[in-house]
């Protein structure tokens, strides 16, 4: 007797974290649907690659125009779905993507075209070599909720202009933003099969990793990144992993207190601290420690917390309750171990369920979780130091190495210290904005990840490098082919002397001995 098999359908909900409003409910893509999306991408990708870089750039230019026209709609959607202030969505999401498109429009053809490789080896002068950059095929992108438009868009634009197809699995909290990105790309002329969004949860992302994609770009937590790296290693799947940070800020004894404190407040609280580039550790020279804290208290008390759609709002909500509990737990751990809470340190239930007051902590130590674990919330912990060497030691005393900043009136001193800090990016007298510099690579060292996005280096991540070599004398037998012997051995010794001997006389004698070989003549 036949029986019906019921398959449970997993669902996810996009919710406005500021209000709790349900924006839309989705069914998670099934394994079959994920496989089908990648198969469609593989089938369509060769034609997309054959289109040529110039035509793909023209499509990017159209996308850029459309995004500019719809900038307010996109920013509003990001503000509703991710909770950040509308103006932050304009600057850190829309502007970043518009400029990333500008960079690729201006530079992709030059950076992707064949590159001639000169040969310095005298024996290889009759060859012409060049590097050819070829698309991988299908790039999988698993993107986070904190920058739901700019992160998948910048990565995808680079992959697309290089001739790849892209399949994006957005965070389950911000699916609508990824769908809006897909709509703009499709309207600009990117074929449906070349850019696809598969909506789902962590299981959906796991399926994407295990299907026949050719490379994966992942942004997320260290534990998840390590699991992905292990899975990818089993089939040698190349990956780019951006795994967050615990970014230090070093305020030297000659820093401008007002400027540095304002930078610290913005760098710690932008997007409610939910940024991998947030200032999560602030080290201040002991001579400035008290005045710096006073300036930070004053500025923190002036911040306005609320719904991101209110133009007066500076700081929005956390994305969900789980994130709020993580922040709260670290603050309470610090308080229990002796940290002073100079501002904030509490929930704001009178505003909404996901709000936490911007918090300033003093007298923190490295024994506290707040100085070791990624917080991803609106907290600025401040700790004093006595000299530059100690400050650098504090900055490097972390498993993370995404970004850092040094604050000083002496640019040369700042640059010198920046070179000693273990991080993918170090800024002098600014924070976070490196993500908006399209020419600059983004990525970290240590537990902060593998590989880079953005700029020339990020574009190189989207192509395979092939070396192509053409012999200019195809009718001539090569001297290194068989036909060895004592005389040939002496010729080769002469060739090495000619190229690499330290004395001129030895080099000249070597040239005479090697002359016959270089003419293609082997001794009888």
Residues 132, 61: one domain?
Answer: yes
418 and 341, same domain (yes or no): yes
pLDDT at 8 over 80: no
pLDDT at 123: 83
The confidence band for 9, taking pLDDT boundaries of 50, 70 and 90, is confident
CATH number for the domain including 238? 3.40.605.10
Q: How far apart are CA 446 and CA 182, in angstroms?
A: 33
Query: The whole model's pTM is what?
Result: 0.95
Say whether both 144 and 186 belong to one domain.
yes
Q: Provide the annotated active-site residues.
A: 242, 276
- Provide the residue range defining the domain that includes 326: 247-399+403-437
Residue 450 lies in a domain: no
Residue 498 covered by a domain: yes
Q: Are residues 147 and 66 in the same domain?
A: yes
Percent of all residues in the chain with a pLDDT value above 90, rounded to a whole number: 91
d(Cα 188, Cα 66) in Å, to the nearest integer? Answer: 7
Same-domain status, 227 and 151 = yes
Q: Which helix (H) or strand (E) holds 218?
A: strand 215-219
Q: What is the CATH number of the domain that holds 331?
A: 3.40.309.10
Whether the Cβ atoms of residue 359 and residue 380 lie closer than 8 Å to each other: yes
**Could you identify the residue written with the tokens 């709000």?**
355
Phi, psi of 356 (to 5 degrees): -130, 135
Report d(CA 190, CA 143) in Å as an integer: 20
Mean pLDDT of 500-520: 87
Residues 84 and 208 in one domain: yes
Alpha carbon distance 322, 243 (integer Å): 19
Please spell the DSSP secondary structure of 44-110, one letter per residue.
HHHHHHHT-HHHHHHHHHHHHHHHHHTHHHHHHHHHHHH---HHHHIIIIIIHHHHHHHHHHHHHHH
Residue 33 in any domain: the answer is: yes
CB atoms within 10 A of CB 434: 18
pLDDT in tens, 377-404: 999 999 999 999 999 999 999 999 999 9
Position 477 scores a pLDDT of 85
User: Does residue 444 surpass a pLDDT of 60?
Assistant: yes
Cα gap 300→298, rounded to integer Å:
6
Judged against a pLDDT cut of 80, whether residue 517 lies above it is answered with no
The model's confidence at residue 189, banded by pLDDT at 50, 70 and 90, is very high
pLDDT confidence bin for 5, thresholds 50/70/90: very low
- pLDDT more than 70, % of the chain: 97
Q: Which residue has the tokens 């239930």?
A: 349
Statement: residue 238 has pLDDT above 70:
yes
Say whether both 265 and 368 belong to one domain: yes
- Decide if pLDDT at 520 tops 60: no
> What are 112-124's pLDDT values in tens digits?
999 999 999 888 8
Sheet holding 403-407, edge to edge: 340-343, 359-362, 379-385, 279-285, 247-251, 403-407, 425-428
* The predicted structure's pLDDT at residue 483: 85
Does 524 fall in a domain?
A: no
Is the domain of 222 the same as that of 274? no
pLDDT, average across residues 33-47: 98
With a CB cutoff of 8 Å and minimum separation 6, the contacts of 486 are none
Residues 6+ apart with CB under 8 A from 310: none
Tell me the C-alpha distance between 354 and 348, whole Å.
8
Residues 204 and 313 placed together within one structural domain of the fold? no
DSSP string, 400-469: --SEEEEE-S-HHHHHHHHTTS-SSEEEES--SGGGG-TTS-B--SGGGEES-BSHHHHHHTTEEEEEEE
pLDDT band (50, 70, 90) for residue 3: very low
Over the stretch 322-348, which tens digit does the pLDDT of each residue have? 999 999 999 999 999 999 999 999 999
What is the number of helices (H) and of strands (E) in the chain? Answer: 17, 18
Same domain, 219 and 307: no
Please compute the mean of the pLDDT values over residues 31-48 and round it to a whole number: 98
pLDDT band at residue 523 using 50, 70 and 90 as cut-offs: low
Contact 166, 138 (CB under 8 A): yes
pLDDT of residue 521: 59
- The tally of domains found in the chain comes to 3
Three-class secondary structure of residue 128 per DSSP: strand
Is residue 471, in this structure, part of any structural domain at all? no
Do residues 269 and 166 both lie within one domain? no
Please indicate, yes or no, if residue 462 is contained in any of the structural domains.
yes
Which residue, 44, 28, 46, 449, is CA-closest to 208?
A: 28
Mean pLDDT for all residues in the chain: 95
* pLDDT per position as a tens digit, 47-73: 999 999 999 999 999 999 999 999 999
* Residue 447 resides in a domain: no
Do 255 and 307 fall within a single domain? yes
Which residues 6+ apart lie within 8 Å of 205 measured at CB?
A: 142, 169
The predicted structure's pLDDT at residue 7:
58
Examine residue 367 and state whether it is found in any structural domain, yes or no.
yes
């Amino acid at each position: 007797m036949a029986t019906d098999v019921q398959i449970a359908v997993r669902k996810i909900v996009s919710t406005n974290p500021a209000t709790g409003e349900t924006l839309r409910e989705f069914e998670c893509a099934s394994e079959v649907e994920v496989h089908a999306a990648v198969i469609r991408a593989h089938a369509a990708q060769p034609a997309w690659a054959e289109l040529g870089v110039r035509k793909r750039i023209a499509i990017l230019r159209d996308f850029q125009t459309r995004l500019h026209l719809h900038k307010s709609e996109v920013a509003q959607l990001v503000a509703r779905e991710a909770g950040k202030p509308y103006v932050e969505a304009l600057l850190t999401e829309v502007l970043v993507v518009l400029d990333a498109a500008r960079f690729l429009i201006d530079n992709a053809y030059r950076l992707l075209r064949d590159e001639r490789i000169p040969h310095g080896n005298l024996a290889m002068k009759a060859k012409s070599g060049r590097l050819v950059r070829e698309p991988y095929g299908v790039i999988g992108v698993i993107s986070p909720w904190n920058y739901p438009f700019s992160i998948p868009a910048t990565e995808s634009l680079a992959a697309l202009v290089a001739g790849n197809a892209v399949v994006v699995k957005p965070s389950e909290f911000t699916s609508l933003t990824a769908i809006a990105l897909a709509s703009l790309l499709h309207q600009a002329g990117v074929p449906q099969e070349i850019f696809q969004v598969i909506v789902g949860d962590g299981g959906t992302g796991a399926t994407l990793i295990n299907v026949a994609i050719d490379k994966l770009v992942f942004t997320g937590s260290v534990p998840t990144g390590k699991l992905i790296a292990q899975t990818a290693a089993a089939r040698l799947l190349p990956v780019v992993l951006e795994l967050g940070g615990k970014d230090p800020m070093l305020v030297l004894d000659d820093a401008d207190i007002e400027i540095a404190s304002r930078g610290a407040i913005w760098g710690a609280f932008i997007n409610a601290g939910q940024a991998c580039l947030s200032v999560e550790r602030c080290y201040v020279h002991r001579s400035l420690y008290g005045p710096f804290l006073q300036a930070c208290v004053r500025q923190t008390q002036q911040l306005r917390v609320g719904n991101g759609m209110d133009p007066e709002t500076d700081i929005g909500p956390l994305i969900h309750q789980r994130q709020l509990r993580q922040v709260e737990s670290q603050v309470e751990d610090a308080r229990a171990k002796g940290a002073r809470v100079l501002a904030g340190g509490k929930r704001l239930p009178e505003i909404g369920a996901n709000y936490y007051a911007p918090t300033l902590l003093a007298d923190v130590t490295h024994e506290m979780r707040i100085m070791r674990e990624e917080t991803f919330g609106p907290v600025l912990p401040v700790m004093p130091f006595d000299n530059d060497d100690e400050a650098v030691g504090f900055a490097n005393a972390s498993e993370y190495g995404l970004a850092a900043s040094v604050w000083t009136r002496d640019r040369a001193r700042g640059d010198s210290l920046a070179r000693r800090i273990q991080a993918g990016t170090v800024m002098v007298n600014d924070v976070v904005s490196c993500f908006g510099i399209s020419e600059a690579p983004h990525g970290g060292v240590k537990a902060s990840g593998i590989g880079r996005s953005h700029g020339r280096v990020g574009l190189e991540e989207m192509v395979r490098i092939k070396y192509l070599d053409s012999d200019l004398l195809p009718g001539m037998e090569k001297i290194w082919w068989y036909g060895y012997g004592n005389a040939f051995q002496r010729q080769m010794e002469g060739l090495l002397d000619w190229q690499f001997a330290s004395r001129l006389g030895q080099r000249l004698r070597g040239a005479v001995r090697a002359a016959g070989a270089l003419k293609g003549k082997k001794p009888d």
